[in-house]
Amino acid sequence: MSDKRKTKIHVENLTLIFGKRKQEALKLLQQGISKDEILKRTKCTVGVNNANLEIKEGEIFVIMGLSGSGKSTLIRCLNRLNDPTSGKVFIDDFDITRESNKELLETRRTKMSMVFQKFGLLPHRTILENAAFGLEIRGEEKESREKRAIQALETVGLKGYEAQLPSELSGGMQQRVGLARALANDPEVLLMDEAFSALDPLIKSDMQDELLQIQNKLHKTIVFITHDLDEAIKIGDRIAIMKDGVVEQIGTAEDILTNPASDYVEAFVEKVDRKSIITAETLMFKKNTVVEINKEGPKGVLRKMRSVGLDILPVEDDSKKFLGYVWVHDVLKLEKAKETTIEKALKTEVPSVYKNYTVEEMLPLITGIRYPVAVVDEDSGRLLGIVSQTSLIIEATRYEMDEVMELKEKANEI
């Protein structure tokens, strides 16, 4: 789905090295020498090592990593607060690394705004003046910039605070001002550097919700830096995980959780609450044997069941629409009664979900019943796959199959 959207920011082979002997360090890096060795030989630190990113228009792209992973350095390359040592950064089709100072100022003034971890507000100015700062810098008239700043403050829920000073506001509210200042510029790209990291957990969660709401209205391209995986998963359309200046993996939260590209990523995502992220689409078994209600009688169904070794099968109608399940014992009864159709054995009150349902949403459906969960297409009603109860339990508990068996055995003994 994201592939259809236009690429807004394209980072190509971006490397940033801190220190005086950058070129020398760059050569060593390209020869594949390690970061530590380069530091020893040249006293240069590698901030970002050959990063490649494609950020789509209108998405929230999260760059996540622990401190020192180079994520803040990377985001500062996007507006050249840090000058990359090599590589390119395209915003639309313009390579920002080759822009003159004047062009760069123009880009910063009109195309991209930034929100900072420590807010970066001017303590001597009122909230209104702070929100209007970006517009003031680009030379807008007082009247029009204040009008737009008031609008932006309204968007972030700070109406009525215009005349206060930043020191009179709480941290969360100060960051709202930071956000309003960025929004007042009406940029195409919003760069958010650990924007919510300094806030209390509850306020942080509020701000995340609010950002998502604002994004629903405004559809900016947002690059969001964080060290908090839960935050990344909550707000990110796609996530890039960084370690030691290297982008380890890029993908949706589910991609990363289900297919971690490296041990590091795996260790990182281990503790995440997967129940709200893993969807039916990932868990379902797709190649199911299906019964067509108008074509197969009890005999045929029983043969099918025997050949796949299952005592329950899903049933479809002529248009391949999912109807329900049949159990082996019901079909057997029909066979004995010499029935020609299986219609009487069909159970239609079964749990069905769409593919974007999460484990968390599916678990309640299986209480007190023995049916697996059917995943059907939202439009056509066709069966896409089946999620067994066992796989739901395994996903929810993170137990291995043999651990589940062991528990069962123990339970029997008791």
Residues binding other proteins (CB under 8 A)? 79, 81, 104-110, 113-114, 116-124, 133-134, 136-138, 181, 185, 191
Q: How far is the CB of 106 from other proteins (least distance, A)?
A: 7
- At residue 353's C-alpha, the angle toward residues 347 and 356, to 5°, is 165
Question: Is 177 or 265 the residue whose CB approaches other proteins more closely?
Answer: 177
CB of 164 to other proteins, least distance (A): 17
Q: How far apart (Å, rounded) are the C-alpha atoms in residues 200 and 206?
A: 10
Residues 6+ apart with CB under 8 A from 42: 19, 21, 24, 25, 28
**What is d(CA 314, CA 310) in angstroms, rounded to the nearest whole number?**
11
Nearer to other proteins, 170 or 380 (CB): 170
Beta bridge partners of 191: 114, 223
Q: Which residue, 18 or 399, has its beta carbon nearer to other proteins?
A: 18
The residue among 109 and 227 lying less far from other proteins, judged by its C-beta, is 109
Residue 66 or 105: the one with the smaller Cβ distance to other proteins is 105
Q: How far is the CB of 138 from other proteins (least distance, A)?
A: 6
With respect to other proteins, which residue has the nearer C-beta, 35 or 76? 76
Task: List phi, psi (to 5°) of 133.
Answer: -55, -50
Please give the structure tokens belonging to residue 37. 């060795």
Q: Minimal distance in Å, beta carbon 79 to other proteins?
A: 6
For other proteins, the closer CB: 133 or 161: 133
- Looking at beta carbons only, is 119 or 325 nearer to other proteins? 119
What order of strands is seen across the sheet that includes strand 94-95? 45-56, 7-18, 86-91, 94-95
Q: How far is the CB of 144 from other proteins (least distance, A)?
A: 17
Q: How far is the CB of 6 from other proteins (least distance, A)?
A: 24
- C-beta of 134: minimal distance to other proteins in Å? 4
For the CB of residue 217, give the shortest distance to other proteins in the complex, in Å.
22
Taking the C-alpha atoms of residue 383 and residue 295, their distance in angstroms, rounded to an integer, is 17
Q: How far is the CB of 105 from other proteins (least distance, A)?
A: 5
Q: Report d(CA 68, CA 213) in Å as an integer.
A: 31
Q: Which C-beta is closer to other proteins: that of 134 or that of 314?
A: 134
Least distance (Å) between residue 185 CB and other proteins? 7
Q: In what order do the strands lie in the sheet with 246-251?
A: 112-115, 189-193, 221-226, 60-64, 238-243, 246-251
CB nearer other proteins, residue 107 or residue 249: 107
